[in-house]
Structure formats: C-alpha cells, structure tokens
Structure 1
Amino acid sequence: MTDTPTTHVVFLLFSGITQLDFTAPAQALSRMPGAVIAGVAAALDPIPTDSGFAIVPTHDFASAPQADILCVPGGHGVADALGDTATIDFIARQSENALWVTSVCTGAFLLGRAGLLAGKRATTHWAYTHLLPLVGAEPVKGRVVEDGNVVTSGGVTSGLDFALTLIARLRGDAVAQAIQLAIEYDPAPPFPGGHPDRAPKAITAGLKEHVYDAAAARMEAALSSA
C-alpha cells in the first residue's frame, strides 16, 4: 500500500481577515488525507478577524513550514496588508516552491502584489473584480478559476468550492465527494441572490452604496500606491 503523502497547507493570517475565507477551506482541507494545516502570521499574537473574535496562529513567518498549498484569504484588512513588505515577501518566498498558489476572495490582490497573477486568469469577490487588471490579471467570472498552479476563488463561501476542487485534483473525486458529504455541504439558501447576476437590483445597489463602493475605492488606492 502506498503511503499518503504529507501535504502542508499554509494559510496566511493578517489583521482584518474574513474568518470564513480561512476557516471554510481549512475545514475541508484539514480532512484531506495527509493534510497538515498551518495558520501563519507575522507574529504569534492573536489575529483580529472581521467577526469580533481572534484566531491564534500556529506559526510566524520565520517558523512556517514550506507550503505545498499556499492559501491567501481575503478581508477588509487586505488593503492594509498590501503595504506590508514582510507579508508580501512571505507570499513571494512561499510561492517559489509551493505546488499550488491559491486565494479566497480579495486575497487575490495579495497574490497580485507579490507578482503572482501577472498574465493569469483570476477571480475575486464580485465587488472587486474590476480591480484585477491593476495586478496584471485577466478577470474571469467564476467561483473557482484555475490557471496553471494558481487557483483563485470568489467571495467568502467560494472558499469551500475551491477547497473541494483542489482536494479532487490531489486525492481524486471520491475523496472530495466524501469530504463534501461529511461536512454536509449541500447549499440550499433561503434566497437565490448570492451574486449580483441573480440578486434583486435594489439589494445589490444598496450593498454597494453602503459597503462596497467605499471598500473598493480603498482597495484601489492601496493597489495604486507604490
């Protein structure tokens, strides 16, 4: 019998992270045979999330294992992280030997700042896709977009789709399907409006006005700075 290879999955953590961008794919990937999960931040202090609680990293940048799968989640803290040299250097350094380089939501822009999306097809949260060309990426509408060993996923809940897609690539469809069943990922939302293509126009307009117009402008400013 062939032993299951160890797969180191390294998630970048930073202040202002959207916790589900991290915890959803981490939950699925942690069940993949051979997976070892690491949550890595600049220091070992608790990381404030956007949900009112903190996450404690398992490693700092200096002690992090080399990733087989590098995953960069998103969140409103991305705009600040874009200007943090240590964070961008960590992404670039890890990506050199990672088998897969991935992101959830606006984590795509951190990959982009590290030079990893130039000429790549990519996706991100729907409110920010128009900014992907600022990091050299070709925007693609989709919950999961693969371009070589770079996998980007859309907003928040897309992280589960990304994780199951990658598990199928690494361990086969049956393993991915078993994990999907184990976590009962069988979406049946009460409303059909999880994307602007399907949501009522008034709901989309209101959310953009109250949240995402300003958030996207802040992201654009951060991306446009040196």
Structure 2
Amino acid sequence: MDIVIPLFRLFEPLDAIGPYELLANVPDARVRFVAPEPGRIADVLGAMRVDVPTRYSEVESCDVLLVPGGAGARLMLDNTEFIDWVRRIHETTRFTTSVCTGALILGAAGLLKGLTATTHWLAMDDLETFGATYTAERVVRHDKIMTSAGVSAGIDLALGLCALLSDELTARAIQLFTEYDPQPPYDSGSLATATPEVVARARELASGG
C-alpha cells in the first residue's frame, strides 16, 4: 500500500507529520515523502528540515495521496507541473486527501468543483474560488476525496483513513498506540467556540504579529 505525501518549501509541519505518524502504522503501508526536487525541504516554522530523496514526478501512481498545507501550498498553486501531477495521480488513487490549505491545491487541480470541502478557516474564501463550497466540518469526505480543516485536523482525517485502509479495530489500536486522546486546556479550537478577541489574536499571529 503506497501512501504519498508531497512536501514543498514552507509546508506546515503537523499537516504532514501528524498523518504520517498514524498512517505509517497501518499494516503493509509504506509512506513516502516526495518533493519538487530531491533534497532538504524546510517547513514554514523554520526549524525543521526533511530530507526527501524522491521527486514527485517520479511517482506515477499511489493508493493514497495526502497533500499538506502551509504558506508553501499557496506558492505551489502557480506550479502548473505540480498541479497537473496531482490531477493525474488522483486518477490512480484509492483516496485523494488534503490537510489545511492543501485543499487549495486539490481545488486548483479541479478536484473539488461542485463539492463541499473544508480547509483552514483563514482560507475559506480562497477555497471557494475553485468552485467548492466551504463547510466548517473538521473532515469532509466525498467518495475517495477527503479534506480536513487546519493543521491538527489532519490527525482526525488520518485516523479515519486508517480504518478505510484496514479496519476499525486496527484504527482504534493505532489511536491507542499513539495515545490520541485530545483533552485541550482551552475550548478555542474553532470559530464556533473562539471569542472575537481570540480570533483577532489568531489573525495577528498568522500575519506575523
């Protein structure tokens, strides 16, 4: 079972590493990172470097494609070769998925037109420019296309994928093994629960403030 996660400069680390942690535990699964060019890829936060040996164009098919987000995802929207590759690989997958603003890449590839989809709340308007309808759900599935909301939501998407790729018992075991049992100290993880002050501060942080 071949699971491919493309990385690009300024990717959001948890978008990729969170799902990787869970999916790598699926029996008979192989998770591969690919990139525009082989080498060391830097994340958007600046301290993580991932050595990626494989160029994405070397991959002609896979069972699962998982596209992370981050500032780099927006830059990749202008890379027609990459977008064409996503569209082509989608034809071969069992599941084509995105985390956070990775949904914009699926949108640019024409995969979300006419569908409801989710992404980071700061990118909801951008998502709809590709013909999708934004929904605030944490994970949205349409047949083999799955999108998740921002950053940590990719873990929820990946856990659901674990069941689809194996079975619910295995997915529950992976959840236990990774002790994925969220109990956050604050209830500010979505626009539905965050106060206006929290939303304003989050916007400041997103813009570097």
What is the TM-score normalised by the length of structure 2? 0.94
Q: RMSD across aligned C-alpha pairs, in angstroms?
A: 1.4
Match of 2:25 in 1: 31
Match of 1:220 in 2: none
- Are 1:15 and 2:9 matched, yes or no? yes
Q: Which runs of 4 or more aligned residues in structure 1 lie more than 6 Å from their structure 2 counterparts after TM superposition?
A: none
Match of 2:94 in 1: 99
Structure 1 residues without counterparts, runs of 5 or longer: 1-6, 215-226
Give per-residue Cα distances to partners, 1:1-39, cap 9 Å, x unaligned: xxxxxx110001111100110000011000001111110
Looking at structure 2, the residues matched to 29 and 109 of structure 1 have their Cα atoms a distance apart, in angstroms, of 22
Distance 1:9 1:65, change over 3 A: farther
Identity among equivalent pairs (%): 37
Match of 1:207 in 2: 202
Kindly report which structure 2 residues correspond to 1:6-155, keeping only aligned pairs within 5 A, or say none: 7-51=1-45, 52-64=47-59, 66-155=61-150
Give per-residue Cα distances to partners, 1:62-85, cap 9 Å, x unaligned: 322521001100001112111012
Give per-residue Cα distances to partners, 1:84-111, cap 9 Å, x unaligned: 1221122112111111110000000001
Looking at structure 2, the residues matched to 76 and 92 of structure 1 have their Cα atoms a distance apart, in angstroms, of 21
Deviation at 1:211, TM superposition (A): 2.4
Report if aligned partners of 1:41, 1:60 keep a CA contact under 8 Å in 2: yes
Structure 2 residues without counterparts, runs of 5 or longer: none
What is the TM-score normalised by the length of structure 1? 0.87
Report if aligned partners of 1:38, 1:58 keep a CA contact under 8 Å in 2: no
Deviation at 1:209, TM superposition (A): 4.1
Match of 1:164 in 2: 159
Looking at structure 1, the residues matched to 205 and 139 of structure 2 have their Cα atoms a distance apart, in angstroms, of 27
Match of 2:180 in 1: 185
